[in-house]
Amino acid sequence: MRSAPRPCWPSRIRARPDPLTTPESHAVEGETPVRRIGILGGGQLGRMMGLAGLPLGFEFRFLDPSADACAGVTGETVQAGFDDEAAARDLARSVDVATFDFENVPDSTAQALEGFCPMYPPPLALGSCQDRLVEKELLSGLGIGVAGYHPVSSRTDLLEGLDWLGYPAVLKTRRMGYDGKGQMVLRDQEDLERAWQKLGESELILEAFVPFECECSLIGARGHDGDTRFWPLTRNVHDNGILALSRPGEFSAALQADAEQKMLRLMERFDYRGVLTIEFFVKDGELVANEIAPRVHNSGHWTIDGSDCSQFENHVRAISGMPLGQTDLVRPSLMFNWIGQMPDRDAAMSVPGLHWHDYGKEPRPGRKIGHATLTADTPEKLMESAQALAEIAGGNFPALLQKFVT
């Protein structure tokens, strides 16, 4: 087992004092004091925003099509579709500021809501992340490296793209793809035919396959005054396209600084407010941007237990006008994602340093229903606990965990 490299502590740009104050005292000059926060989406991300914001004195109201949205334990839920502009306007009239917990909210709904209350992050950022082609053009235009890509609206476009990019390549839907959905790897003509049959009815993008060493993500927050904080780059391991494990503090100071500068360009482009995530591939020691998420992110769940201030609390702080909290990694941490089913809770709780998070969602295959974060005093103790938890969890976890061990 190897010892993890010394964690890279994230920088703080224009850092400010972090007093414990009430929401009213942190209303931005010229803005309405924030007490009620509306959230489009009532899933686990909304739930954890609510759990972070309730101790700060905020009230929450969610809009979600599900009658049993798991965020409902932290506030009132309005049951309506995300394309219901009338329901979105009613939500906006009843809150002081609005946000969202996933990026596939229709642009028209976001704009309808923005007409009645402030919405952060801004709808322009939301719209730019909903279309993979627009997203790639945005990143490229800001000088942020991405894999080669080619828009595909026809079979002819696909063949032209393959002539340029070659095999292997990845064919993706431009919209509504997440957790590995809406994409297929093309390694030969047979894969091409299968992918075109499955995805050919959609607007697509073909991307060069990146033979990466690992995947990572940077999560940052930007406040109303431009104060910007970053958590450590987090290494991510996926299982069948869905995040399985996340561990922060594995990368060099130089790579951390490079990721931060890339994110700053995006934040300044949108005059951003809230939490933002960029997913990267690491190839030959360099960062290649893969996707943007204009929201709190699954790979940042460890921040609840391993950081001074979680991504969820800092998002609430940012959109409400409060000062941002510290984003230091305070102890070695590693997150396990529970997909479809959870291991025996009591057995897992016997593992030293375990923090258990149950989202209250009905288990089903492929569904994110909870997570656990391990913390420890040293990287060695962290990996000892991680190996014990992987054995309890079973499945692919023992093998996946080996990606953190050489």
Give CA–CA dist 157/159, Å, rounded.
Answer: 6
Each as own residue / partner, the long-range contacts of residues 382-385 (CB below 8 Å, 24 or more positions apart, any chain) are 382/4, 382/332, 382/333, 382/334, 382/353, 383/1, 383/4, 385/351, 385/352, 385/353, 385/354
pTM of the model: 0.90
Secondary structure of residue 392 in the 3-state scheme: helix
| DSSP state at residue 249 | S
Q: Which two tokens stand for residue 63?
A: 């809009």
Q: What is the number of H-type helices and E-type strands within the chain?
A: 13, 18
Give CA–CA dist 177/311, Å, rounded.
Answer: 23
Q: Which domains are present in the chain?
A: 1-12+211-406 (3.30.470.20), 32-117 (3.40.50.20), 148-208 (3.30.1490.20)
| DSSP state at residue 119 | B
Give pLDDT tens digits along the chain (406 positions): 333 333 333 333 333 233 233 334 345 555 668 999 999 999 999 999 999 999 999 999 999 999 899 999 999 999 999 999 999 999 999 999 999 998 888 888 888 888 899 999 998 898 888 899 999 999 999 999 999 999 999 999 999 999 999 999 999 999 876 666 788 999 999 999 999 988 878 899 999 999 999 999 999 999 999 999 999 999 999 998 899 999 999 999 999 999 999 999 999 999 999 999 999 999 999 999 999 999 999 999 999 999 999 999 999 999 999 999 999 999 999 999 999 999 999 999 999 999 999 999 999 999 999 999 999 999 999 999 999 999 999 999 999 999 997 5
Give the DSSP H or E segment for 256.
Answer: helix 253-270
Give CA–CA dist 303/51, Å, rounded.
Answer: 14
pLDDT value at position 202?
84
From residue 152, alpha-carbon distances to 159, 188, 201, 225 in Å are 9, 17, 11, 40
pLDDT value at position 26?
44
